[in-house]
Amino acid sequence: MEVIELDDSSLEWVPVIDGIPLEERSGFYQLPSLDSPVRLVSRSCVDSAEGPGPEVWSGDFSKELLVFKLDADARQGRRVHCPGRGLCLVVAPSDWKPLGRPGPVAPEPVLPDGAYTAHYFDLDAEDGHVAFRRPDGHESRLARHRLDVRLEGAVLPDSSARMGPFFGPTPPVLSAATPEVWDEVATIVVGEEGPGRKRWRTHFHPSTGSRIQEMPPELVSKGAGWFFVRFYSYTDDLIDSLDFRFASGLQLMHRPQVRLLPGTEGHDEVRFVLSAGRGWEVTPMWPRLCRAEVDQSSSEIALVIPAAPEADETRWQVDPPGGRPVPLVIRLDRVWWSLVDDGEEPRWSDRPLRVLRDWFRPVSRKRLLLKLPRGLRVRLGFDASMAREFGPAGSDGRPLAVHLRDFADCPEVTRPSPASFRVWVSRESAVCLSLPALTLRCRICDHPGTSRQDMVRHVGSHLDDLFPRLSWEEILEAFPDRGYPKALYRCSYCGHIEFNEQTISSDNATSAILAHLDNCPYAERDGGRVIPRFEPIDDVERMREILPRLRQENLPDIRRCRFCPRDSEPWEDPSREAMTAHLMERHWDELWTYREE
């Protein structure tokens, strides 16, 4: 329950349990238990226990539940008897099981003993309600009571449901469905929203017989801010509340038409034009690629939003002269798409993506991802009469995923002529995938790829270029622990190759061949000194011939894919089929390119 501060002489209330006042901690009072009634007592009467105020909690869950309407930040809540709209928190015994749609936040214990649990309910969601199944099998359902009142006025371009609508340059009015709606409202409190104490607030009583209630004139003097409106009954119970923002120095001059689907050149840049008072500023906060263009001659500010998927929701800051900044959120409903394999991150596009007909085969893993506005349903296909309906996308923001193999039976997939795969929203459509009348050409020799079998066979003709054998230096670098000789030398006189376990290093190999030359009977001598003539053996094929004789060990055929990183694992004795499959699956784009006929 909230105590309305009417003036400086208002009583200061203190919550008590069994006559004992609760300890205050930063403006909050922690309840030691939920099993006892909680009352409000004037601080001046605490010691004498006289003048008890209203009971705010009975301590009996069989009579009522603890229901709190949460504020826009979901950080604080106010006690209500009947949930109405928005997010609410309900405290119930832990053996009571919530019914219906799971809340946006997981339940959590309230007290250390775990006897009670806090549950979150989104009453604005479809079928949003508060209901529990008790241990005795009976159901407890709270009746919803939403005051039939809404805010009306000139609305600025904003999509922040959490903070309510944004009005300017005049504050909104409270519009009831009928004048009789106000009969149950005793007091209307208007104040600054947000954390902290001593924020501005005021109150007034609704005018009887009128459907429209004007905001208090003090609101205009605030200039700008984030505000709440709370409606209280004649028993000081909170009936309902609304949030809104207001900026007296901003007026919407131009709201552009934003198309759901892109045109032939993609989505357009979007410009919202505001008329700004002197000293007012609007700054883009996220993403940075947005900008605000100021026309000094007309005092207009253009909020420019580019054609980029990350700019579908942009955040701005409204800075009034000498006042508190107010956040502004603009959300655009635009459709984007991407083509991915399993586990691949999407790269969103608003242009037709070229695809292969093989990607529509039943074994294909290719998926079309669609970034859709919430709740939107679309149709997909080559032909409007055969298009299939999909959606809506998940409420958690995940894109709609459609496997291309679901369209394997479409005749366009097997035709050589070009075809366009479209997305429809109502009667409007856009091309998202393009099957062009193209032939695939080998990037190495321009050979046409007429079929997958032909392409596999053709890649096999380039294996020595695409999977080259490693040089001896590369083999030593890749396998330093195998004991392969770093250098071998062959005597030019007799053809002898000196190799043993001590000649693995290049230095020892040189010493060994020189020692052999000293004793070689075929070596030429000059004045008794040997003329050293020997040649290094660093050719892989010669090593392949020599190594079995030296170590009784065959040197494997060691290769590495030309397109893979240099530090990737080499292939040992790979089959032609394995190398071809690797190139076709991993390096399709490096091997083949589309060429127009």
Q: What is the pLDDT of residue 414?
A: 82
Strand order in the sheet with 326-331: 281-286, 313-319, 326-331
Q: When comparing pLDDT for 261 and 146, which is higher?
A: 261
Q: Write out the two tokens for 452.
A: 């997958």
Interval 502-520 mean pLDDT: 75
Q: Write out the two tokens for 61.
A: 């869950």
Rounded CA gap, 423 and 429, in Å? 5
Q: What is the pLDDT of residue 506?
A: 54
Q: What's the CATH fold of domain 250-331?
A: Immunoglobulin-like (2.60.40)
Q: Write out the two tokens for 345.
A: 């991150």
Q: Which region among 62-66, 135-139, 172-176, 290-294 has the lowest average model confidence (pLDDT)?
A: 62-66
Q: When comparing pLDDT for 528 and 291, which is higher?
A: 291
- Answer yes or no: is pLDDT of 110 > 90: no
Q: Which region among 58-72, 269-283, 477-491, 501-515 has the lowest average model confidence (pLDDT)?
A: 501-515
DSSP classification of residue 61: T
- Answer yes or no: is pLDDT of 9 > 70: no
Measured from the Cβ of residue 264, the count of other Cβ atoms closer than 10 Å reads 8
Q: Write out the two tokens for 146.
A: 């939403």
Q: What is the pLDDT of residue 94?
A: 92
Q: How confident is the model at residue 53 (pLDDT cuts 50, 70, 90)?
A: low
Q: What's the whole-model pTM score?
A: 0.65
Q: What is the pLDDT of residue 262?
A: 98
Percent of the chain scoring above 90 in pLDDT: 53
Contacts of 380 (CB under 8 A, 6+ apart): 368, 387, 388, 390, 402, 407, 421, 422, 423, 424
Taking Cα atoms as reference points, which of 193, 202, 205, 200 lies closest to residue 233?
205
Q: What is the pLDDT of residue 1?
A: 38
pLDDT digits (tens, 9 = 90+) for 483-503: 787 778 889 999 888 765 555
Domain ranges for the chain: 13-141, 149-247, 250-331, 336-436, 470-556
